[in-house]
Amino acid sequence: MPSYTVTVATGTQWFAGTDDYIYLSLEGTAGCSERHLLDKPFYNDFERGAVDSYDVTVAEDLGEIQLLKIEKRKYWFHDDWYLRYITVKTPVGDHLEFPCYRWITEDKEIVLRDGRAKLHRDDKTQILKQHRRKELEERQKMYRWKEWHPGFPLSIDANCHSDLPRDIQFDSEKGVDFILNYSKAMENLYVNRFMHMFQSSWSDFADFEKIFVRISNTISEYVMQHWQEDFMFGYQFLNGCNPVMIKRCRELPIKLPVTTDMVECSLERNLTLEEEIKQGNIFLVDYELLDGIDANKTDPCTLQYVAAPICLLYKNMENKIVPIAIQISQTPGPDNPIFLPSDDKYDWLLAKIWVRSSDFHMHQTVTHLLRTHLISEVFGIAMFRQLPAVHPLFKLLVPHVRFTIAINTKAREQLICECGLFDKANATGGGGHVQMVQRATKELTYSSLCFPEEIKAKGMDSKEDIPYYYYRDDGIKVWEVIKSFTTDVIDIYYESDEVVCEDVELQAFVKDVYVYGMKGNKSSGFPKTIKTREKLSEYLTVAIFTASAQHAAVNFGQYDWCSWIPNSPPTMRQPPPTEKGTVTIEQIVESLPDRGRSCWHLGAVWALSQFQENELFLGMYPDEHFIEKPVKQAMMKFRKDLDEIVSVITERNKNKKLPYYYLSPNRIPNSVAV
């Protein structure tokens, strides 16, 4: 009788093994096998990390194996099992691979296809078509869209982490408990003695050092030493943790009535302000989105304030970007003066602090939360709903949505919800952050997620004009390598644009992103359909780049740039100055966060800047969803290209006091997971 050798690999994560009964049956073109219990006498099967082999004998030849069914039945109590893959050696010596990489819970069964990626049109038999359809029907019941707040991109229909499908939950929920992690961070930073000292102001700038952790040769210490200097203020717009706000100024906005006389002492080329603008030496950062946003009122004992400043910057003769004028509110007038470097020292310093505080709000809520976390979740939900596991694009994208829906659900549960942790220390907590996301979602465009296109639209693309914009330089390198990789994969499975047009599952995925994720907003520019291989490559690059590189660029530098509180205040406790010549050091310290809020802020930026345990970085694909040799070769090329970028960045950063490494591929996680 024919005999098949079946090899079963159990996951390596905690609690991946099971003591339940595991049954297997094979379905081929010539018939189906009986259900076989996979069990070895006197042996503990399916332990965590185990790879177990079994001989399965059948009554007659099954023909070509099409499906493999795994059933789990309770032994003593329900014991979830994480199945990595199964391989089958047929009687004629063929080796078949059946990737799974899923949890099997309760008394459930799953049906697997072999690992060769197939488009919808490739399935000719009814049994394979039916399996494909049934998988998506089941997924669409599990992965449902929900509006968490009006005006937000749609998210997963789950109130808490435990409501999520088991396959997308964290291995250990404890590891991503924000309350626990923030408290642990404050304990590790030795600042927990201050964490309840709300309303208690610091004495002076030096007093902030009581909660500042000195780590030798780090960016954070350099920031502490130089934060008051104009060059450091300007540098952060290029290479800080929010390097997306600055744009070249083509014309001075009417709402910012700066004249040449005002800034003449800052201009180094003996040109008028208008001439400097024409030469491309003037830059603008406008926080208009913050205008009218409600400040946090959750603590009746502390008034908090939000402003919407406009900052004018200048590229000096050393090619450094420095500030030359700041207006703290949007509407010009006698009670909204334009602050200048020539003003009193503390006037100018407080104006810069207001800009830095506003930048923090934009970074956390728009750059970070909306434009990486929420957008990646949209791609993830649409992928699970519309692409079956056998689809090549599912195999390509699934590593890049790992834990994303889980971390966002946890954030909605503990962080950005009403009375959540965000309210503790942030001036935009208590509802202001919701208003910001609503406004920013209306303005969000697909083209702004296309990295080179967005850099060019802001007039920031010239390396000769702006030589120290490492975020741009490294980002474009990583974008191009990802795009080359997606193109290589697409070319394997889509031999023409016509095949792209005819892929109904791909089109359903794109439509789901547009209709549900982006709520059918035409002005967003998100495509409703994709008709060419070139556009498909761009679309997939947007999804992967946003989840990996873009998130890394704006997330993992938070402790570096925001741990010195005066450089990045999460709240301001005094209103903006309305006249010049009155600001004192005492007024600045009273404006900055109190001791309690400073500590919560420090715990947050520390926790958010840490990589996950067992982090998977860009190009690392330990789960072998793809089994075909051409794709594995494309992956090897991808990793080689990424390694070359790492070498270039490492060489550039040598001996730099301010190295830029956030977009080095060996520091870019595959997905948004923190």
- pLDDT tens for each residue of 577-609: 999 999 999 999 999 998 888 888 888 888 888
Binding-site residue positions: 17, 39, 79-80, 368, 373, 551
Burial zone of 218 (CB within 10 Å; 0-12 exposed, 13-18 middle, 19+ buried): middle
What residues have CB less than 8 Å from 387, skipping those under 6 apart? Answer: 393, 394, 397, 505, 506, 509
* For residue 216, pLDDT beyond 70: no
- Asked if residue 199 has pLDDT above 60, the reply is no
The confidence score (pLDDT) of residue 530 equals 98
- Fold of the 3-114 domain: Lipoxygenase-1 (2.60.60)
* pLDDT of res. 649: 98
Q: What is the pTM of this model?
A: 0.95
Contact 544, 486 (CB under 8 A): yes
Q: Per-residue pLDDT for 190 more than 60? A: no
Q: In terms of residues, how long is the chain?
A: 674
Range scoring the smallest mean pLDDT among 108-117, 171-180, 545-554: 171-180
pLDDT of residue 207: 73
Residues tagged in the binding site annotation for Ca(2+): 17, 39, 79-80
Q: Is residue 192 over pLDDT 60?
A: no
pLDDT of residue 605: 86
Q: Following CA atoms 549, 551, 553, 558 in sequence, which dihedral angle do they give, to the nearest 10 degrees? A: -160
Res 239: pLDDT: 98
Within a 10 A sphere around the Cβ of 534, how many other Cβ atoms? 14
Q: For residues 111 and 24, is the Cβ–Cβ distance under 8 A?
A: no
366-554+623-667 fold? Lipoxygenase-1; domain 5 (1.20.245)
pLDDT of residue 211: 63
* Per-residue pLDDT tens over the stretch 527-585: 999 999 999 999 999 999 999 999 999 999 999 999 999 999 999 999 999 999 999 99
Domain ranges of the chain: 3-114, 366-554+623-667
Provide the annotated binding site for Fe cation.
368, 373, 551
- Domains 3-114 and 366-554+623-667 equal at CATH topology level: no
pLDDT of 608: 85
pLDDT grade for 76, boundaries at 50, 70 and 90? confident
Residue 187, pLDDT score: 58
Q: What is the pLDDT of residue 601?
A: 84
CA distance 214 to 564: 10
Mean residue pLDDT of the chain comes to 93
- Reply yes or no on whether the pLDDT at 45 is more than 70: yes
Torsion of CA 262, 265, 268, 271, to 10 degrees: 40
State the average pLDDT over residues 14-23: 94
Q: What is the pLDDT of residues 479-513, one digit of tens each?
A: 999 999 999 999 999 999 999 999 999 999 999 99
| pLDDT tier for residue 195 given thresholds of 50, 70 and 90 | very low
Does residue 198 surpass a pLDDT of 60? no
Query: Under a CB-based contact definition with an 8 Å cutoff, are residues 163 and 143 in contact?
Result: no
